[in-house]
Amino acid sequence: MSIEDVPESHLASSGIEQQPSAPGSSGVRIVIYLVVIIAVVLVVWKIYQNQKQTAANSASQALALQNRPVPVQVAAAEQKPMPIFLTALGTVMPYMSVTVKARVSGELEPVKFTEGQQVKQGQTIMVIDPKPYQAALDQAKGTLAHDQALLKNAQAEFARYKALYDAGVTSKEVMQSDEAAQGQYEGAIEADKAAVETAQLQLNWCTIQSPINGKIGLRLVDPGNIITANTTNLVIINQFQPIAVYFTLPEDELPQVLKKLAAEKRLAVDAYDQNDTQKLATGYLLTADNQIDTTTGTGKLKAVFDNKDDALFPNQFVNIHLVMEDRPTALVVPSAAIQTGNQGSYVWIVDHADAQGNGTAKIQPVKVALAEGQVTILDEGLQPGQTVVVDGADRLRPGQSVIASVARQRGGQGAKGQGAGQSGGNPFAAPTAASSTGSPAGSGKQDKRNKQ
């Protein structure tokens, strides 16, 4: 039996309430579902449109950034004289060094020099009490005079007995005895003369003279001390002018150095400070050692410097530039312009630049000869006057528009004479004749040669 067939009284008595029927409720739910679906679709579409617009804006901005000129700093490739050299670490040593010792014993009198003074060869610097040696000399002279007197008497005796022997008055043995006595005195006189010379020499040694020209150091013994002969160090004298620098080169570089040295007899050598930026002195290569150190595989060489301004000091460490060749027309660019990629070494050049520096970046392969500090010598790839990018290359791509400005001058070696460092210069002007102004020999530091 269905609920519709049950009487209302029975439904009322059973506690079941009769619900009114709603024939339009299913249609309302469908409308609600449609509204929700449309709202979701609208939200999704809006999000999609926003993302699409954002992507379009980003692409537009990226395109605008790509088309925007990139600011870079440039320098001009130059053709100028450049030295080719080998580098090494050297130690400054005195050309001659003497540790002064006394050759006689005695009391040291007040010194005749000021510590740190320049002294000349033969100049008196110290005196040892000469009185004992003067007395020994006087004694030796007295002995010599005594023996000379005895010799004179023996000669007179010999002359008398010889005359008597010739007259047949005396025997031959007496004459020969007087002749032998004369010879003994002559030998004694020779010994006395040697004793006088020895005493005179020791007296002279009481006066200590500088054996070389040089700078005297701090005294090691004060006046009043008793000096022992050939034992006590008194003072050290070092020769500064000229002065020597010892340095080493790998054994595979020695043949070319020795060949050049034999052909030219003298190779220029420049000494730089520890930072390898400031040139201290210019000298020449004197010689190389006669053997290679087997523990290091290097050969020792000696260079000599005039050192007129005392720029070099004993035991000072310096960077040595041994000039092997001077290229009168070397093509030079700043080392910062050299880039390395899969295709090898290259530079970014600014092509079609106007007077304001607006141009287009372009990759230009180059062949590097060698790098010398802040400059690099090229064998090929550029022409004098072409502008290369030295700062800002990491933001470039081929065909990129750029706004170029002249790079500031950098101090230190290898920067002299570079057009990139000339304040107010215009690297975008038409190339002119190669500059004849260049770095002095050895003004750049050589890095390793680029083996092509």
Kindly report, residue by residue over 305-345, the tens digit of the pLDDT.
999 998 999 999 999 999 888 888 888 889 888 888 888 89
- CA 417 – CA 403 distance, rounded (Å): 24
Confidence of residue 90 (pLDDT cuts 50, 70, 90): very high
Task: Give the count of beta carbons closer than 10 Å to the beta carbon of residue 140.
Answer: 20
Taking 90 as the threshold, does the pLDDT of residue 128 lie above it? yes
Instruction: Report the chain's mean pLDDT, rounded to a whole number.
Output: 80
Taking 80 as the threshold, does the pLDDT of residue 272 lie above it? yes
CATH 2.40.50.100 maps onto the chain at 97-237
- CA 253 – CA 22 distance, rounded (Å): 108
- CA 78 – CA 299 distance, rounded (Å): 36
- Looking at residue 447, its pLDDT comes to 40
Confidence of residue 430 (pLDDT cuts 50, 70, 90): very low
Taking 90 as the threshold, does the pLDDT of residue 245 lie above it? yes
- Looking at residue 426, its pLDDT comes to 52
Question: 35: which residues sit within 8 A by CB, 6+ positions away?
Answer: none
CA 12 to chain centre: 116
- Looking at residue 353, its pLDDT comes to 66
Q: Which of 49-63, 73-87, 157-171 is predicted most confidently?
A: 73-87
Q: What is the rounded average pLDDT of the residues 117-125?
A: 93
Taking 50 as the threshold, does the pLDDT of residue 191 lie above it? yes
Q: What is the rounded average pLDDT of the residues 236-248?
A: 94
Question: 342: which residues sit within 8 A by CB, 6+ positions away?
Answer: none
- Looking at residue 64, its pLDDT comes to 58
φ, ψ at 123 (rounded to 5°): -75, 135
CATH class of segment(s) 70-80+326-421:
mainly beta
Q: Which of 21-25, 59-63, 89-93, 394-398 has the lowest mean pLDDT?
A: 21-25
- Looking at residue 315, its pLDDT comes to 93
- For residue 380, which of 394, 372, 369 has the smallest C-alpha distance? 369
Strand partners, 303: 245, 285
- Range 97-237: architecture per CATH: Beta Barrel (2.40)
Q: Which tokens hold the place of 101?
A: 């010792």
Taking 80 as the threshold, does the pLDDT of residue 11 lie above it? no
Task: Give the count of beta carbons closer than 10 Å to the beta carbon of residue 348.
Answer: 25
Taking 90 as the threshold, does the pLDDT of residue 50 lie above it? no
Taking 90 as the threshold, does the pLDDT of residue 409 lie above it? no
Q: What is the rounded average pLDDT of the residues 200-223?
A: 93
- Looking at residue 448, its pLDDT comes to 38
- Looking at residue 312, its pLDDT comes to 94
Confidence of residue 433 (pLDDT cuts 50, 70, 90): very low
- Looking at residue 281, its pLDDT comes to 93
pTM across the whole model: 0.60
Could you give the C-alpha distances from 231 to 97, 109, 227, in angstroms and in order? 17, 17, 8
Q: Answer yes or no: are the C-beta atoms of 202 and 104 closer than 8 Å.
A: yes
Question: 83: which residues sit within 8 A by CB, 6+ positions away?
Answer: 321, 323, 325, 326, 327, 372, 439, 440, 441, 442, 443, 444
- Looking at residue 224, its pLDDT comes to 92
pLDDT digits (tens, 9 = 90+) for 363-378: 889 988 877 778 888 8
Q: Which of 207-211, 262-266, 304-308 has the lowest mean pLDDT?
A: 262-266
- Looking at residue 138, its pLDDT comes to 93
Taking 50 as the threshold, does the pLDDT of residue 250 lie above it? yes
Report angle CA 347, 353, 357 to the nearest 5 degrees: 95
Q: Answer yes or no: are the C-beta atoms of 224 and 108 closer than 8 Å.
A: yes
- Looking at residue 36, its pLDDT comes to 85
CATH 2.40.30.170 maps onto the chain at 86-93+244-325
- Looking at residue 236, its pLDDT comes to 94
Q: Does domain 86-93+244-325 have CATH number 3.20.20.70?
A: no
Q: What is the dihedral of CA 297, 302, 307, 312, to 10 degrees?
A: 30
Q: Which of 132-146, 162-176, 253-267 is predicted most confidently?
A: 132-146
- Spell out the SS3 assignment of the chain: CCHHHCCHHHHHHHCCCCCCCCCCHHHHHHHHHHHHHHHHHHHHHHHHHHHHHHHHHHHHHHHHHHHCCEEEEEEECEEEEEEEEEEEEEEEEECCEEEEECCCCEEECCCCCCCCCEECCCCEEEEECCHHHHHHHHHHHHHHHHHHHHHHHHHHHHHHHHHHHHHCCCCHHHHHHHHHHHHHHHHHHHHHHHHHHHHHHHHHHCEEECCCCEEECCCCCCCCCEECCCCCEEEEEECCCCEEEEEEEECCCHHHHHHHHHHHCCCEEEEECCCCCCEEEEEEEEEEEEEEECCCCEEEEEEEECCCCCCCCCCCEEEEEEEEEEEEEEEEEEHHHCEEECCEEEEEEEECCCCCCEEEEEEEECEEEEEECCEEEEEECCCCCCEEEEECHHHCCCCCEEEEEECCCCCCCCCCCCHHHCCCCCCCCCCCCCCCCCCCCCCCCECCCCCC
- Looking at residue 431, its pLDDT comes to 42
Confidence of residue 63 (pLDDT cuts 50, 70, 90): low
- CA 166 – CA 182 distance, rounded (Å): 19
Q: Answer yes or no: are the C-beta atoms of 257 and 288 closer than 8 Å.
A: yes
CA 327 to chain centre: 22
Q: Which of 199-208, 257-266, 352-361 is predicted most confidently?
A: 199-208
Q: Which of 11-20, 72-81, 423-432, 441-450 has the lowest mean pLDDT?
A: 441-450
Q: Answer yes or no: are the C-beta atoms of 333 and 346 closer than 8 Å.
A: no
Taking 60 as the threshold, does the pLDDT of residue 258 lie above it? yes
Give the side-chain half-sphere CA count within 13 A for 407: 25
pLDDT > 90 in the chain, percent: 36
pLDDT digits (tens, 9 = 90+) for 395-404: 888 887 888 7
CATH 2.40.420.20 maps onto the chain at 70-80+326-421
